């Protein structure tokens, strides 16, 4: 599995940026960080070190416990695809569910009839390998929606559905901006 420390550091930075992106304060203070919006996906670039990512929030979220829909408090729920030319990272898929995942659990990512398993660490989930990142990215490019199903440390089952409209353009833009 990829370096968890590097992922957690980058993921924390990405979440903070994406969270701020939704606020007017971010738009006024750091509008140069967001470089493109492609329908449901936004593209961000950080220059030191060089890092580019596309990010989206879910269009629908359902939280259940014991088979019943429940209201729960969650932090930011986001899906990313990240490029870091300095470390050779090309199209790393990650997901934050806005809560600590159940220890030892996994997150199921479904795109059409294809299913993938993401491994969890705290509030973050990733595929196990670069090859899995590539398979997931290819499926996301072909799909119209992606659904991520997970279980919180408190036992809540969550299902977050992301629109994939604009995904390919946003991912290509992030890859292009971090090509060198």
The alpha carbon torsion through 115, 78, 74, 160 (nearest 10 deg) reads -30
Per the structure, the count of domains in the chain is: 1
| CATH number of the domain enclosing 114 | 2.60.40.1880
What's the rounded mean pLDDT across residues 94-123? Answer: 97
What percent of the chain lies above the pLDDT cut of 70?
Answer: 82
pLDDT tens per residue, range 130-141: 999 999 999 999
Question: What is residue 32's predicted lDDT score, i.e. its pLDDT?
Answer: 59
Q: How far apart are CA 104 and CA 121, in angstroms?
A: 9
Q: Which domain holds residue 75?
A: 4-177
Average pLDDT rounded to a whole number, residues 79-84: 96
For tokens 């090309």, the residue is 90
Packed helices 167-177 and 130-142: angle between N→C axes, nearest 10 degrees: 140
User: Strand 145-151 and strand 157-163: pairing?
Assistant: antiparallel
Which helix (H) or strand (E) covers residue 109, if one does? strand 106-111
Rounded CA-CA distance 116/108 in Å is 6
Q: Which of 25-29, 45-49, 145-149, 156-160 has the lowest mean pLDDT?
A: 25-29
pLDDT at 15: 45
pLDDT at position 33 is: 85
pLDDT beyond 60 at 27? no
| Averaged pLDDT, 29-56 | 84
Residue matched to tokens 């072909």: 142
Q: Which residues on adjacent β-strands are paired with residue 89?
A: 84
Average pLDDT over residues 117-128: 97
> Mind listing the pLDDT tens digit for each residue in 43-76?
999 988 899 999 999 999 999 999 999 999 999 9
Mean residue pLDDT across the chain: 86
Instruction: Count the alpha carbons within 13 Å of 139 in the hemisphere toward its beta carbon.
Output: 18
């Amino acid at each position: 599995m990829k370096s968890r420390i590097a992922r957690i550091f980058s993921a924390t930075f990405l979440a903070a940026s994406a969270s701020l992106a939704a606020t007017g304060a971010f738009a006024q203070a750091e509008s140069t960080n967001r470089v493109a919006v492609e329908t449901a996906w936004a593209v961000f670039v950080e220059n030191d070190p060089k890092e580019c990512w596309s990010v989206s929030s879910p269009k629908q979220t359902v939280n259940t416990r014991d088979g019943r829909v429940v209201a729960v408090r969650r932090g930011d729920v986001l899906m990313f695809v990240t490029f870091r030319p300095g470390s050779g990272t090309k199209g790393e898929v990650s997901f934050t569910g806005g809560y600590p995942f159940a220890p030892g659990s996994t997150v199921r990512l479904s795109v059409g009839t294809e299913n993938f398993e993401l491994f969890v660490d705290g509030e973050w989930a990733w595929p196990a390998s670069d090859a899995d990142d590539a398979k997931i990215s290819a499926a996301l490019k072909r799909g119209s929606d992606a659904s991520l199903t997970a279980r919180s440390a408190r036992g809540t089952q969550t299902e977050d559905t992301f629109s994939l409209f604009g995904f390919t353009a946003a991912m290509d833009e992030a890859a292009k901006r971090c090509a060198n």
